[in-house]
């Protein structure tokens, strides 16, 4: 688990006072160092909360996010499945 959760969302936590500076109040955002402000202005910055510990993402969660943002993926294998033979699968 990331504590506080806002730190996983680019917020800054003062270790002395415990005060959290939200993303939009940081120079990182205001000066657009990483492109987060540009993404936000386009409505493309999305923060979500999912169950589990830090980076403990369920396969179903990952599949849903990938489908939403990247669309369904279809893979075409060679007729004789040569790709699988090459990788030893």
pLDDT in tens, 14-66: 889 989 999 999 999 999 999 999 999 999 999 888 888 888 889 999 989 88
For residue 80, give the DSSP letter: T
Q: pTM, whole model, 2 decimals? A: 0.63
First-to-final CA distance of the chain: 35
pLDDT at 88: 47
* Interatomic CA distance for residues 10 and 18, integer angstroms: 15
């Amino acid at each position: 688990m990331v504590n506080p959760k806002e730190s996983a969302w680019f917020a800054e936590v003062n270790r002395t006072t415990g005060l959290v500076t939200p993303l939009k109040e940081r120079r990182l955002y205001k000066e657009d160092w990483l492109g987060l402000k540009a993404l936000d202005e386009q409505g493309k910055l999305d923060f979500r909360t999912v169950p589990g510990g830090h980076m403990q993402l369920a396969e179903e969660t990952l599949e849903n996010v990938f489908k939403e943002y990247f669309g369904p993926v279809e893979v075409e294998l060679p007729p004789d499945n040569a790709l699988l033979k090459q990788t030893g699968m």
